[in-house]
Amino acid sequence: MPQRKPSSYREVKPGEANPQGWKVPPVNDLRSAIELLKKIPGQYIETDREIDPIGELAGVYRHIGAGGTVMRPTRIGPAMTFNKIKGFPDARVLVGLMASRKRVSALLGAPERELGIQMADAHKNVTPPVTVERKDAPCQEVVYRADDEGFDLRKLLPAPTNTTEDAGPYFCLGLVLGSDPDDRDNTDVTIHRLCVQSKDEMSIFFAPGRHIDAFRQKAEQAGKPLAVSINMGLDPAIYIGAEFEAPTTPFGFNELCVAGGLRGKPVELVECLSINQRAIARAEIVIEGEILPNVRVAEDGNSHTGKAMPEFPGYTGVANPSLPVIKVKAITTRKNPILQTLVGPGEEHVSLAGIPTEASIHIECENALPGLVKNVYAHSSGGGKFLAILQVKKRSAADDGMTKQAALIALAVYRELKNVIIVDEDVDLFDTDDVLWAMQTRYSGDLDTTFVPGVAGHVLDPSQTPEYDPRISSKGTTTKTIFDCTVPFTLKDEFVRAKFQDVDPSLWAPSLFADKENSNDD
């Protein structure tokens, strides 16, 4: 499959060693990911107790491992598979696979603190997908066609609801694969909000600027449907790689190449059965369909709640009164398929969105200011999108200004980013207490704050509305802020942290240091 990419990208051949030496784990689909996690204590559990996908499943996992911006009490915990789903005797549901940085590290191979750097490397060393024969595609082991008697999407797949206010059942990890109507090899993959509306229809929500929406608009202008496959239950490298956004992945860049770069081998695709499109060959579930031209539906047309579903900022979104419609043509699955989902505001979204955010910022800062930015963390409190912590190492007085330049680059490269906190190299950017310590001792509000007003942000932030801020004219506009919590270079010697004797504490408390890998999750 041809791939548009800048000339600076390097294509990695299958089997070629990772340039950074990270050990690539033996994962190529969801099932191999689960098998890997089963070998790591505390990272995966299953239950045979029956669960209702309507509200109950999310309510249970909220306490077990949702984390993120979910209303407390919540925690970061294991991924969980529910083996008995009420009303669906042949289905299983997995939640929380990526709801832990420690778990993502195990699944991708890089240390927790280097995941963004690993993603940046994969973005540079792309591996394009390949198409395989249908006989080699597990996703088509079982086939349901929409023209079959009794076909009903609502009875085949246990789409969950998260709360009683939800507009309806949602597929929360449906990776939509679409192509330019005039060039099928110009392909994009993104995760979208998909609400089940009827036996063979779903609504789809597009945030502004999404490439598949541009494909949809182009097809609609020609009066034609847009063929898409909706892929669920995937190798986590595919999901995370798909979350890169422009300008890091420009129009025409297929994000499946990033997943290939992470694994050192191409993602396998297969031709769909009912539409002119491809699907992820090793997916658990594929929905084949067409986005209809000039057809719209209210998101809460069945429930009339006025609400959509919980979104990553921690609030339940407002139902959209007019969304495009996907007409389902077929569903294909593996035998005994696993429907993969997430709790909307939780830590899983932080991993999905945040690690590519870190990579995008790291790439551009290193290109513009080599050696200054040591690491980036897309903080959980912003859902992996709104807040970034930049760790810098100043080398001269000139870097006092360059640190703010790095923050401006971060805001430019990731438009949904709202706030940036800059810290020195002696501050643990993954430790919120340490970051706030830097703010208390190395920051003065009127001196070290930079405001950038009237800039595009994210429509799901409830503070980015004219009702909240009368100065702005449209939803999704905000003031962005840089908090410089670094020491001026000439004062570095006066801001030295207390130094302690360097010893091996495990000699005195071995049980506390059995796992010496530094982790935020325990």
Q: Residues with catalytic annotation?
A: 311
Say if CB 228 and CB 177 are below 8 A apart. Answer: yes
DSSP string, 188-250: EEEE-EEEEEETTEEEEE--TT-HHHHHHHHHHHTT--EEEEEEES--HHHHHHTT--TTTS-
Amino acid identity at 379: H
- CA angle at 155 for the pair 150 and 160, rounded to the nearest 5°: 160
Instruction: For residue 247, say if its preceding peptide bond is cis, omega within 30 degrees of 0.
Output: yes
Q: CB within 8 A of 167, min separation 6: which ones?
A: 195, 299, 300, 302, 303, 305, 307, 308, 309, 319
Which residues pair with residue 371 across a beta bridge? none
Q: Tokens 């970051």 appear where?
A: 435
Distances (CA, A) of 2 to 63, 80, 187, 227, 270: 45, 38, 10, 19, 15
Distance CA 213, CA 72 (A): 35
Distance CA 160, CA 53 (A): 5
What is the CA 306 to chain-centroid distance, rounded? 26
Which residues pair with residue 483 across a beta bridge? 421, 449
Distance CA 292, CA 86 (A): 32
Distance CA 76, CA 191 (A): 23
* Residue 43 three-state SS: coil
Pick from 20, 30, 325: which is nearest to 173 by CA? 30
Say if CB 422 and CB 448 are below 8 A apart. Answer: no
Pick from 151, 260, 139, 268: which is nearest to 200 by CA? 151
Phi/psi class of residue 335: alpha, beta or left (left: φ > 0; alpha: ψ in -120 to 50)? beta
Distance CA 175, CA 279 (A): 10
What is the CA 243 to chain-centroid distance, rounded? 5
Q: Tokens 């405001």 appear where?
A: 451
How far the first Cα of the chain sits from its last, in Å, is: 42
Long-range contacts of 211-216 (CB under 8 A, 24+ apart): 211/246, 211/251, 212/176, 212/178, 212/188, 214/251, 215/178, 215/179, 215/180, 215/181, 215/188, 216/178, 216/291, 216/324
